Amino acid sequence: MRGPGSYHGSDIFQAVADVIGVEATEKLCRALGGTRLYVPATIGAHHPIAVAVGPESAAKIADHFHRTVLALPKGLSRRERVLELRRTTEMTVQEIALATDYTEAGVYKILAEERGGQLDLFNTRIR
């Protein structure tokens, strides 16, 4: 299995994850992914970053990235959804593709990358 940085494939994701952790960074990207977000020197309780990750993680982001613009990755949430459905359901590849707006080939690619190898194209059940 690949590490969080290569798995998520984004330098920005990894830089933020190094400061607040992978789980909080995933929450941030789910809430604000696909946007360019200015990070002020202090983040108030109602700022979108604080709402997404909480005041403690928001303060860490402000301390580390203040006065910069973060271009948060958006593709993370759909990819994560594919992997979540794989882990928690008995859905077929076709059903996962429809639920996540990927092609079946895209779902197979994500699952193969996660496993570090190839999946059987004729196995529609992924458990």
pLDDT, averaged per 10 consecutive residues of the chain (127 residues), comes to 43 93 90 93 97 98 97 80 88 94 94 74 56
Cα–Cα–Cα angle for 38, 30, 1, rounded to 5 degrees = 115
Which two structure tokens, joined as six digits, stand for 45? 């309780």
Which pLDDT value is given to residue 69? Answer: 96
Sign of CA dihedral 74, 78, 83, 89: positive
Same-domain status, 9 and 67: yes
Which pLDDT value is given to residue 92? Answer: 95
Which pLDDT value is given to residue 87? Answer: 87
Same-domain status, 61 and 33: yes
CA 24 to centroid of chain Cα atoms: 10
Counting the structural domains of the chain, the total is: 2
Q: Which domain holds residue 26?
A: 4-73
pTM given for the model:
0.60
Same-domain status, 13 and 37: yes
